[in-house]
Structure 1
């Protein structure tokens, strides 16, 4: 049959059908071999990255063992139990040595990563940094404090992988500004933590280094994309970590793991030296921020980072030092509050957390004012359209060799639908499932520069509208829910739009932080069975499945302030933390 077709198409004297078939077969074989070689090359890169990681952890273990032989009397448990402020005080006064503290945390970090797979890489230069701070004599605000950093925050000589094969090539040529400032303040960066593939997920899994687990319950996700940080700190293997946040990537792991985390106003901390899989999305900026066990630790970190060294190294950072007076104030606050944004109702335990915190704040003398964030359905459309302005092509391009982590397949498959297909599906789904329809419509992207300009203008108009409503109510801060409790692994990719509670403050570029205030009860789990969501669409049912089995896990709230008011946000977080601890103690 094929030979007959070839004879019809090609003159006999020019091409022999048998030769043509042989050529065709050879070409097909060449393509197959080429693809196999490409996949093999990718596999080798991944194996090499894992081998490097494992060798680093082995060196880490050997260094710890050597220290233990030299100093067998080191009080590990006593050191690990110290809050950051107390640990810092003992290091500053000399009653604890930086060496003892570093190796104590290295040992604990090894234990935690064996259980949760939270470390992406050990930083062996931490021993050089230890010697440097002891030689220098000058004691910065973070003198001797071991600090963990998220995978894509640049550290000289190490990869910033973003969980992607294409980033396994060239190590960073110099430290990011943030790492330089940490070192200048006496901190010791000792480990880089795992992230989800491409960072665009709030689970924590990638094909190179695997799935990170929640240390509080290994059947649960630690959240993401700063999930490795969340797992390491919650497991006790780090006392202070630096994450990043573009839709909740600091706050969601903090919520899932029972930590405090702050997303500052973008550019309050330098972004220079931080990498990402897709660059140039400026309408909704990324922010770097601290994660720790308590609010005072976040405040100390911000105080240390907001220094002349940062302002000198990165002139684009506003030279605004930490305002201790605002953080230490005890004046009553006027607090706006809501327990649902009307777009994605959260599980009963998360709404209960807001209600209980509101009552505690009111009893403590603060003024509570009902507040409704305007048009979150509209905001979610704008947010998604910003990130998928090109229809998702730039994001899809990062998946070298078409290797996609299972936790991301739902998102990737949605992006791969042809533009016309997305539009038709959105049209069909609109009457029954409006959130799904809006999501698919947003993935279609934009077709012209004018459309992009109009889109950016809509973002500006919404920000002005939100601030006007805030000012009209004369609010100092806002109390609101955060997504949680911890998800079962694999569900985050099916519920991208469930991040409306955190995404809003990236969209607005407001500082926002998370504080754990309670835990999931049996009564919460029973009430979850009655959860119906708001649209009776597949997302509502999927959310219920995602959070089941969370009894005993942390429940958190979110605290928000206006741009550049990180100190006020932290002060509010501290008040919430204090009141929640008092309530749990009674």
Structure 2
């Protein structure tokens, strides 16, 4: 706790110390057989813990302490783990920054002038800053993976509902197009795997019978068979930064040298998937549910640019969308998407489109006979106030929530002077205002961590972790060889 408070003084990453941890210690010996016996765990603000608020960074959820533990916290306690601190989030959770009117802005452990990412940003900063060894976040469009990448650690977004979401608070509950997941964050992959093994137990399947009773498959995780790895450098919607590209290429080379087979992979219709499925799905109600949670308080400065279009009348958004189409097709499509859906039948149509898209991607994956997929991971950490203006980059992570594929971020490198110099040549996929903004967002990143993303098919979380471990080990060996 003392260490977490020291890190908090510098990064502003904690929301509350959980003094129940001290009580828990008195009876900890009754959980000696638990896999996480005596291990301190940090948890994201929105995960229910008896007697404490799950604010989601909004004023209307203050002074509403949870009456019982979320399923995931209950399981952790039964496994002997000690949740000891809650960590900061962005206002409303639907952002990849980490600032709100209650607790303020969380900073990056590597550079205090940068954001830690979000929405599980407090977790990323606390673990990356050395104040926790293991934590839990939630991920709806990259919210575990982005802070893990920005803060130089690793994080896993499992298949949705592999870990119970019961008792996790949200500001957009009921949305079914893009699914949220609870996932672990730590300094190494082995910790993530161990955490998953501890959580996927009889206690969880009993406490929440809607979770498929699939225990952790250690055999798959520990396998060392050569893998058939799909890869892509860009989804042709968001062009990765120079450091992302270099980190991705280096990792791909290491995997090839290690005897794995690498096969090019391409996602179908990404433009359409981003606008008609991800954005339109998350904002099917035009953002009304999120905005309702923000009433009675001011909008955090990091969120203003993102929220502004939600508040425009529908006819204004439609009009602007038509005018912008020939010059800025991406911005036009985005404005059209935030108009939401017009009717229940259109929502059903939207859900059907998502289903079809998932099966189309799975068919492509099967045709190439892939085990896993390697792709770049958003980075490096941004300068402040850019996340709200740049939701366009979320194709990089959000696609895997749409598909409900497990995906993890593994830190593999740091930004070099050369990467920084190459930013001047960055054009992006559209050469529009958003691509120019991205350069400004990541400028001044020398020395910051860069990650890659590892992906597998639904319910193959152990395979995803196994791939992450492979990437982590090859990177570590390579660094060791270079040094000597």
- Is the 2:31–2:37 Cα contact (8 Å) retained in structure 1? no
Which residue does 1:188 correspond to in 2?
82
Which residue does 2:352 correspond to in 1?
457
Report how far residue 283 of structure 1 moved: 2.2
1:220 is paired with a residue whose SS is strand
Which residue does 1:329 correspond to in 2?
223
Which residue of 442, 451, 456 corresponds with 1:561? Answer: 456
- C-alpha deviations, 1:351-385, integer Å up to 9, x for none? 11111111100000000001111111011111100
- Runs of 4+ more than 6 Å apart: none
Matched, 1:302 2:166: no
Which residue does 2:181 correspond to in 1?
287
Mark the runs of 5 or more structure 2 residues left unpaired by the alignment: none
Which residue does 1:349 correspond to in 2?
243
Report how far residue 402 of structure 1 moved: 4.7
- Is the 1:140–1:184 Cα contact (8 Å) retained in structure 2? yes
2:113 is paired with a residue whose SS is coil
Which residue does 2:143 correspond to in 1?
249
Which residue of 64, 70, 73 corresponds with 1:176? Answer: 70
Give TM-score scaled by structure 2 length.
0.98
Report how far residue 448 of structure 1 moved: 1.1
Which residue does 1:69 correspond to in 2?
none
Distance 1:249 1:552 in 2: 23
- C-alpha deviations, 1:485-511, integer Å up to 9, x for none? 000111000001211110000000010
137-146 vs 329-338, which moves further: 137-146
2:107 is paired with a residue whose SS is coil
- Is the 1:241–1:292 Cα contact (8 Å) retained in structure 2? yes
- Which fold has the larger relative contact order, with Cα–Cα distance below 8 Å and residues 6 or more apart in sequence? 2
Which residue does 1:117 correspond to in 2?
12
Alignment of 1:71-82 (within 5 A): none
391-400 vs 211-220, which moves further: 391-400
Give TM-score scaled by structure 1 length.
0.81
Which residue of 528, 533, 553 corresponds with 2:423? Answer: 528
Aligned residue pairs, count? 480
Distance 1:282 1:178 in 2: 21
Report how far residue 169 of structure 1 moved: 2.6
- Is the 2:154–2:188 Cα contact (8 Å) retained in structure 1? yes
Alignment of 1:96-115 (within 5 A): 106-115=1-10
2:41 is paired with a residue whose SS is strand
Which residue of 364, 384, 389 corresponds with 1:469? Answer: 364
Distance 2:64 2:148 in 1: 31
Matched, 1:578 2:473: yes
Which residue does 1:29 correspond to in 2?
none
Matched, 1:438 2:307: no
Matched, 1:234 2:121: no
Matched, 1:422 2:317: yes
1:552 is paired with a residue whose SS is coil
Distance 2:288 2:264 in 1: 41
- Is the 2:148–2:185 Cα contact (8 Å) retained in structure 1? yes
Mark the runs of 5 or more structure 1 residues left unpaired by the alignment: 1-105
Distance 1:452 1:439 in 2: 17
Q: Which has the larger radius of gyration?
A: 1
Report how far residue 215 of structure 1 moved: 0.9
Which residue of 384, 387, 398 corresponds with 1:489? Answer: 384
